[in-house]
Amino acid sequence: MRSMIAISAVVAAAFAVPASAAVIDLSTLNLAGSAKIVGNSLQLTNTNGPSNASGVSGAGWLTQGVSTATSFSTSFAFSLQGNDSGKMADGIALAFQNVGTNVTGVGGGDVGYWNIGGSGSSAVGSIIRSWTHNEYGLSTNGTVQADLTPAAFNLGASNNVTGTQTVSYNATTHELTMTGTLTDGKTGLTYNISDAAIVDLSQKFGSTMYVGFTGGVAGTDADQRITSFSLISAVPEPETYAMMLAGLGLVGFAARRKKKQ
């Protein structure tokens, strides 16, 4: 009985170890298109940068792939600033894809998310669109013309939007969820946002995928930045398993020794 209690204690201790968590240094991301590092933030597009009707886009990606077989949660903060010459555009996305780390998609209203690396509708992610669209939500088919939710205020007309998002994936149920906030810089009001979808990331991307951000502008522009980024894995680290197995081994040894006495 005491052995069973000891085993339970070892298992509980092993899995009480915090999940693998990392605050990402944005300067370590691989950049593509118009993206660059400004201070401690990832600037996807710039109010003083090139803008044209055909669209400009920028992206930043983690250089290492993320397992699609593991549950995870990623959180980030962002800032969207117009230059007060009109409605800011066009938006940003947190994106998952398996094309590469030196790619971006179509700019403008497609916010660098659609056709990443010429791959068509391959991405999965969370989208925020300003200009005249003013909407947010999850996309599982690589397009921004998804069932997005209208925002509670006009993001484009605000010209000053900040916010946060946490996007989580359950590798067992394949549920992708998003919760977050949008803050209107003109009024100071903050609104909660959320969405959920079912998508099998392993089936869509294989064993690994790349995680990063995209942003796009076209006829008008915006300074669109990611200001913080973290990734949390729900699976114990290898040393946690080692600790658990070592503990179980000691318990087993003690039990056998007692039996011989």
Residues 195 and 69 both lie in one domain: yes
Q: Tell whether 126 and 220 lie within a shared domain.
A: yes
For residue 185, the domain's CATH number is 2.60.120.200
Asked if residue 199 and residue 84 are part of one domain, the reply reads: yes
Same domain, 222 and 95: yes
- pLDDT given for residue 200 in this prediction: 98
Does 36 share its domain with 1? no
Q: Is residue 85 pLDDT above 60, yes or no? A: yes
Work out the percent of the chain whose per-residue pLDDT is above 90. 69
Same domain as 133, residue 219? yes
Which 3-state string (H, E, C) describes 93-146? Answer: EEEEECCCCCCCCCCHHHCCCCCHHHCCCCCEEEEEECCCCCEEEEECCCCCCC
What's the pLDDT score for residue 5?
42
pLDDT of residue 10: 38
Residues 214 and 254 in one domain: no
Examine the domain organization and report whether 248 and 230 are in the same domain: no
182 and 260 share a domain?
no
Residue 231 pLDDT exceeds 90: yes
Closest CA to 181 of 109, 81, 77, 44: 77
Closest CA to 140 of 209, 61, 228: 209
Same domain, 179 and 207: yes
pLDDT at 259: 47
Same structural domain, 105 and 120: yes
User: What per-residue confidence (pLDDT) applies to 234?
Assistant: 62
Could you read off the pLDDT of 99-153 as tens digits, one per residue? 999 999 999 999 999 999 998 888 999 999 998 899 999 999 999 977 899 999 9
Decide if pLDDT at 175 tops 70. Answer: yes
Q: Are residues 62 and 107 in the same domain?
A: yes
Is residue 63 very low, low, confident or very high in pLDDT (cuts 50, 70, 90)? Answer: very high
pLDDT at 255 > cutoff 60: no
How many domains does the chain fold into? 2
- Please give the residue range of the domain that contains residue 192: 20-235
pLDDT at 111: 96
Q: What is the mean pLDDT of residues 236-250?
A: 43
- Low-confidence winner among 14-18, 115-119, 121-125, 246-250 (lowest mean pLDDT): 14-18
What pLDDT is stored for residue 240 in this prediction? 39
